[in-house]
Every structure is written in structure tokens, then in C-alpha cells.
């Protein structure tokens, strides 16, 4: 890899820590509980100060939203993922170049999807069993994350395949089951909430355009339980909204 491409790759990692390849250099160790839990993230590393002092942190509780004429989500995703990894914080699927989200006049590339238990966002104080985050990156480095709330109900074939093939321990990425179709991890209706926020993991950079779908995806209770055996709790608590506007597509 030449110097220009190496610097570009490192910049991308800094913007999106959950996009890091396996065993990439990281900052201070962080977790979801105890002395390295969310309340301490801002003190663990100078690069993570935004976790403590940022004014547009995520996730948030969505209680009131303003109806607005928002652009329809234009998704052009591949029908399979490239690799799957247990990175020590979650289960993550990585995607090859070519899958895109167009939001208004900005086009983003789908980088990865990962999962949280329970949901990080809440709706009027209500949490969900899980939440999926589809991370997209624009050429500028800005991120757009589609959040999908996950409720227990009918089995979802794509998520069941993820659960059956997810690595049981932290380690390098391996090839994903080619039958895992990311499009099947979306509800039928793509109405959404939109607000400006941050990464929900260190360094908590405030560079994210959040697109949280209003309709939940239903998944089997048994699959939630299987995920919980690896990650019983990997969700950051809700943050202050600081009077941010949350828009809702009409």
C-alpha cells in the first residue's frame, strides 16, 4: 500500500472505529461497564473527549419529532456481505465497495453493519431488544447511519443466519455466509427519523447523520437470546438531546 492510500485508510479508521479491520491499532481500552464504561469514555484517551463534552452525542430518546418533507432513502445494496467478525464489542458484517445510500444529493458507501443489545435509541422512553446500525461513509468522511430497531416476533432468515455463523470469540474477520442478504434486515416501510449526532462508541465523533427507521424489524426471541450469550449488554445509554431538532419523514 503506498503512503497516500495508507494515510487515507488511517483517516477512515479514525472517523469510524467500528470500521477498523481486525487487530488494527486502537486507543485506550473501553467497555460497556465498570471503570472503562460509557461514563468514563471521555477520560480514557484525549482523542475521546467528545464522549464527555460533546453537544450532539448519540444515541438519544426520540419523544417529539417534527413532520417534514424528507427525501426518500435510495438504497442500492449488494445481496451479500463480504466478511463477518467478532471484534470484542459486537458482531459486525463488512461490505465490499459498491453498495450505496443516496440521501438527498449526497451518496454514501455502505461500510458495515453491527448490532447492539438492547437498542441504543429509545422511542418515548421505550427500548427494544436490539438495534442494527448500517454505517455508510461519504467521500468527505461524513457518516450516515441507518438504525433499525429490532423487536421480538417472527423469525428473520437473514438475522438467523448471522446468529448461526457469528464467531463465538474475538478474532479476525472470516468470510460471511453468502446467503446473508443485508436488504432482508430492513422492514418493509422505510419511514425514518433524522437528526445530527455522533458515533455511539469512542471517539464519539460528531460526524453522523442519523437515519432511524420508524418501523421495527421483527426477529426471533431465540436469536436475541443467542446473541445475548455473546453480548448481553453492548449499548451506550441515551444522551442529552440539547434541544436538537428531530425530523420525521411524512
User: Among residues 29, 89, 121, 136, which one is catalytic?
Assistant: 89
Output Rg (C-alpha) for the chain, integer angstroms. 17
Closest by alpha carbon to 109, among 15, 44, 213, 185?
15
Closest by alpha carbon to 129, among 216, 38, 33?
216
What do you get for the CA distance between the two ends of the chain, in Å? 46
Q: Distance of CA 234 to CAs 16, 71, 91, 94, 243, Å?
A: 17, 31, 10, 19, 26
Phi, psi at 180, each rounded to 5°: -80, 110
Residue 89 among the catalytic residues: yes
Phi, psi at 158, each rounded to 5°: -65, -45
* Residues taking part in catalysis: 89
Amino acid at each position: 500500500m503506498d503512503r497516500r492510500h495508507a494515510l487515507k485508510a488511517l483517516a477512515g479508521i479514525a472517523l469510524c472505529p467500528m470500521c477498523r479491520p481486525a487487530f488494527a491499532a486502537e486507543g485506550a481500552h473501553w467497555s460497556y461497564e465498570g471503570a472503562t464504561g460509557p461514563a468514563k469514555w471521555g477520560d480514557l484517551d484525549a482523542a475521546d473527549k467528545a464522549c464527555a463534552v460533546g453537544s450532539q452525542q448519540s444515541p438519544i430518546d426520540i419523544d417529539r419529532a417534527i413532520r417534514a418533507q424528507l427525501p426518500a432513502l435510495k438504497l442500492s445494496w449488494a445481496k451479500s456481505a463480504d466478511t463477518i467478525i467478532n471484534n470484542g464489542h459486537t458482531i459486525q458484517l463488512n461490505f465490499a465497495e459498491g453498495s450505496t445510500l443516496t440521501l438527498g444529493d449526497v451518496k454514501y458507501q455502505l461500510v458495515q453493519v453491527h448490532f447492539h443489545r438492547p437498542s441504543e435509541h429509545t422511542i418515548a422512553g421505550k427500548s427494544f431488544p436490539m438495534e442494527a446500525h448500517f454505517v455508510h461513509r461519504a467521500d468527505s468522511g461524513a457518516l450516515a447511519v441507518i438504525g433499525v430497531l429490532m423487536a421480538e416476533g417472527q423469525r428473520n432468515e437473514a438475522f438467523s443466519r448471522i446468529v448461526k455463523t457469528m464467531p463465538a470469540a474475538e478474532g479476525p474477520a472470516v468470510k460471511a455466509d453468502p446467503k446473508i442478504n443485508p436488504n432482508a434486515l430492513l422492514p418493509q416501510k422505510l419511514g425514518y427519523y433524522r437528526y445530527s449526532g455522533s458515533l455511539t462508541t469512542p471517539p464519539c465523533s460528531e460526524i453522523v447523520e442519523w437515519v432511524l427507521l420508524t418501523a421495527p424489524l421483527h426477529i426471533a426471541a431465540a436469536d436475541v437470546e443467542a446473541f445475548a450469550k455473546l453480548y448481553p449488554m453492548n449499548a451506550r445509554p441515551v444522551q442529552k438531546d440539547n434541544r436538537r431538532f428531530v425530523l420525521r419523514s411524512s
